[in-house]
Amino acid sequence: MTSSEILDVVVLGDGLVGLACARACASRGFKTTIVGRRRAGLGSAAAAGFLAPTIDPVRARALPFTLAARARYPSFLEELQATTGRSIPFALDGILRVPATDREAAALAASTDTMSTWLSAGDVAQLEPALHAPLGARLHQDDGMVDNQRLLLALDEAVALGALPRIEAEARRIELVGNMVAIELEGGRRLRARCVVVATGAWAPLLHGTPRTIPVRPLRGQMMALSGAPLSRPVFGFGGYLVPRPADRQVFVGSTSEAVGYEVGTTDAALNGFRDVAGHLVPALARADEVRTWSGFRPMTFDGLPIVGPDPEYPALIYACGHSRNGILLAPLTGDVVASLVAGDEIAHDLSPFSINRFPPGI
C-alpha cells in the first residue's frame, strides 16, 4: 500500500463489529483495510456473549433488527467455520429470568409477552436441576449465547486468511474532502479512502474530525469466571446473571454498569456481589473456585441503541458504533448492512432508529 493509493474502504476498529464490517466489505470485492489496536477493556473480548433480543429493554424500537441479527447467527458461524475450520460454541436454547421476590414472580408470570413463557418451579427444576428457582422463572425460549472470545479469534483468523491488510495503530483524525476521506493515524501516517467506517466501540468519541460529536460513552462492566458446569443456558436473576461456558467448564458471573471513563479494573465490592448472585441462583457455585476476573467497556449511547448508517451530510462516512449492550448480537448483521451501504444497495432493514440524527447536535 502506498501513501498515494486510494482504498475503497478503511474500517476503524478491530473488535467484532469492525472485523465483521471489514470481512463483509471485502467479500463484496472492495479493497478494504482495517485500522485498530486492541485495547484493554475491548467489549468484544470482555462481554458475556448474549444473543438476547427479547430480553433487552430497548427492544420495542429495535426489535425487527435485533431479531434479524439473531437469525443471522447460524449462517454467519457456518461461513466462519467453512473459512477457518473453527467451530464456535453457540446455542439458542433459551435464557431464564428468575424472580427474587413474590412480587417480581407475579409480574413475570402475568406477562403477555409471546416471545417468552412462564415456567413453574417444577418445570424449571426439570430444565436446570442445579438452578434454585422456587418461585418459577420466565423462559425466553429463542434467545441464547455465543462464545464471543472464540468468535473473535475465528474472525481474526478469517481476516488473516483473506489477506485483508491490517494496520495496528489508532486513527487520530479524519478529514472529509468531497467524496474522499483522509485518515491520519498515530505517528502521522495518512490513508485515503472512498469510504471510512467508524467501528471503534467505546473509543468512537475520541476520533477527531467527524462532522458531529459521536454520542458514545464507555460504561464499565466487571465480570468473574467460576469453575464448574452446572447450567446449560444463561440465567438472569438477583441483580446479575450467569452464563455457562461448557467448553471451558466455567460459568461467567456479571455484571456491573459503571461510568468510570476508561478505567480498567475490578473491585472487591463487585466481586463479592457476584458471589452472592451465583450462590442465590446455583447454591453449588457458592463453593466454586474463582478462575479469573476482568472488566470491559460497553459503548453506550444515551438511548441504548446503536449508531448504524451514513452520516447525513457526508455519505462517505459510515457509523457502526455505539452498540451498547448488544454488540455481540448485532455484529454480523451490522457488517452485512455496512457492506450494502458501501455498495449502494437497497437496505433490507429499517435503519431510522439507529441514525445519528436522532441525537441533538453537540450532545
What is the tens place of the pLDDT at every residue in 80-107?
A: 999 999 999 999 999 999 999 999 999 9
Give the pLDDT confidence of 230-251 residue by residue, as tens digits.
999 999 999 999 999 999 999 9
pLDDT band of residue 360 (cuts 50, 70, 90) is: confident
Amino acid 149: pLDDT = 96
Q: Domain map of the chain by residue range?
A: 6-50+150-216+303-358, 90-145+218-300
Please, where are the H alpha helices in the chain?
16-27, 43-46, 59-84, 102-110, 121-127, 148-161, 268-281, 327-343
Amino acid 41: pLDDT = 84
pLDDT band of residue 4 (cuts 50, 70, 90) is: low
Secondary structure (3-state) at 248 = helix
pLDDT band of residue 226 (cuts 50, 70, 90) is: very high
Amino acid 174: pLDDT = 98
Q: At residue 308, does pLDDT exceed 90?
A: yes
> 3.40.50.720, 1.10.10.60, 3.50.50.100, 3.50.50.60: which CATH number matches 6-50+150-216+303-358?
3.50.50.60
Query: Which H or E run contains 90?
Result: strand 90-91
**Chain-wide mean pLDDT for the chain?**
96
Distance CA 328, CA 93 (A): 17
> What's the grid cell of residue 353?
432508529
Q: At residue 58, does pLDDT exceed 80?
A: no
User: What average pLDDT does this structure show over 350-363?
Assistant: 89
**Rounded alpha-carbon distances, angstroms, from residue 160 to 23, 75, 85, 153, 237:** 10, 20, 14, 11, 40
Task: Give the other-Cβ count within 10 Å of 217's Cβ.
Answer: 17
Q: Considering only the top CATH level, what class is 90-145+218-300?
A: alpha beta
Amino acid 329: pLDDT = 98
> Can you spell out the DSSP letters for 289-345?
PEEEEEEEEEEE-SSS--EEEE-SS-TTEEEEE--TT-HHHHHHHHHHHHHHHHHTP
